[in-house]
Structure 1
Amino acid sequence: MTTPAAIEDRQCDNPYDGEYLELKEDCDFDNHMESLVQESSSEHKKILWNRYYEQLKRQMQSETESVGSLRALAQKGYGLEKLDGQHRTSDLLLRCLVAYRSVQPPQPFFEWLSSLGEFGVIAQIRRAGMLHIQGGASRDDGNIYPSEVKQLLNRVAYLDSKARVRYRVDRSNELLWQNGSAFDTAAMRTHFSGLGWAIFVLSPRGVFYTGSHVVGQFHHSSFLQGRPVKGAGEWKVEKGKLKLITAKSGHYQPQKCHFIACLESLRPMLQMYGTRVTVFPETGSSSEKSKSVTIEAEKFLRESENYSIWKPQE
């Protein structure tokens, strides 16, 4: 019998199966590329824009059968990251796109970027002004260091079907398993939560994938090649037992319904192990609402209207 996970591992490598849908609400990237095609722009630029736009439409299509799935491109920068054949980090691509618009070279954007070299990228980012390093502060002082650009030049891993299998999580005997052993995050790490945590996604077919988060190298988008998911976040697991889970994901920016879908997929182990969630109260003063609380997952599911989850700006 072919399992949903096996089907997904095999099929995810074809990003253009199914109907193509034009999703205007997701096309923030248009605002950037559209500026390259003004009345004074060359016919060459217009041809390039049309090519990029068609590629983007395909990659932003709804590729899942389930209702309420998360779009792969929660932010315009991640749209660039996915469109880039090398999957360079979104921070780098956004800054360099600003420089590209200023310079207006004859080459296509990604071809131009690849030709710059490390110090050429540094120069162009300085020209563009403010740089935002993932996980760090935004600044506009122009002091861009080579070490920071090296981090941005890293390729974000996009897993193919064979590589994806080792990150898959199976559920058996009310435990989480990975590669034949009880899954444990003790030696894993995420940028936001630190040691003992891992990032995860819940695929459209209801399969969890998980691993360590490495800024500029391995993100939530890595598991399913930037495609839509049913849910995403971070979790702490001890010897197969889920202890704590959040909806923290900058790439996918889950809403409450997506977090609930993840928790529903993990029943009945939530009650069995007293799994807890980190959320935010909806009632109280502004300062109280801004402070996270950790409560039992079952309590959150019963009273979800009283809580919010991670917000896009966090």
Structure 2
Amino acid sequence: MKAVVSNKYGSPDVLELKEVEKPILEDNQVLVKVHAASVNFGNLVLLRGKPFLARFAFGLLKPKYSIPGGDIAGRVVAVGKNVKQFQLDDEVFGDLSRSGWGGFAEYVAVPENALAHKPANMSFEEAAAVPMAAVTALQGLRDKGKIQSGQKVLINGASGGVGTFAVQIAKSFGAEVTGVCSTRNLEIVRSIGADHAIDYTKEDFTKKTQRYDLILGANGSHPISAYKGALSPNGVFVHVGGSGAQLFQTMTLGPWISMTGSKKMGSLLQRANQKDLLYVKELLETGKVKPVIDRRYKLSEVPEAFRYFEEGHAQGKVVITM
């Protein structure tokens, strides 16, 4: 089969399209013919080996997982003898980040608990855009942020992969949502349900008088003190993406701020799980959430897809089609 392979850390130039052996199926796995995949920040960490601490999970000197790609959608072509949830020809989607990655390939062997049946109202490309980003948004808002109906919620980086899902998921919880993005993305953010949209090139939300019950930082480089100032007295800030300096501050200063005052500040490390994927699937099927796809690339164009993704200006998700 064809697959995109990376045997060393580096730029997108280290990615090569090669012929490799088709995966050998284990008893608890299904073999999926991949129809589409998508690019996420985790793929970038796996490619570059940065931040360095990530190498303790991904391989110290070279990538432990030579085929990147977390999010996939495709069709089941074989099932292990212990598999109970899926059968031949089932259309599925899922996140492989806890089961060896490998999504940028024509076939992948996947534990059944990493998958869910693809929403019937979604194409393979749309479904592949969902798992990692949508579950990150869900866990950040619901689990870490403790979102409640009627709260004022701000999404910083509202037009990106996680941000576009966060706006819609926050609305599904009954929140009043403000999205922060650049000028060219204002209409996208409004079109997915944001009640208010702030153009960060013209306004700094941290310097306005409005205060928020929950802020999800999916992008940006504000210092943690600025986020703290924009929170209501019992507000919560959750970092899921943004500058390295911002992450460092959240991890080091966040616990102190949380212990010494009424405002809570922390970061989220997304954990793929089937239960949350099924929750997101229901939102997709009921039309409460829809993926926003910016660009589509072929498997042979994965290096180009990574270069575009690294620029940080994608409107929604970048998808790989097989």
Establish whether TM, by shorter chain, passes 0.5.
no
The structure that is helix-richer by fraction is 1
TM-score, with structure 2 as normaliser: 0.27
RCO higher in structure (CA 8 A, sep ≥6): 2
The structure that is strand-richer by fraction is 2
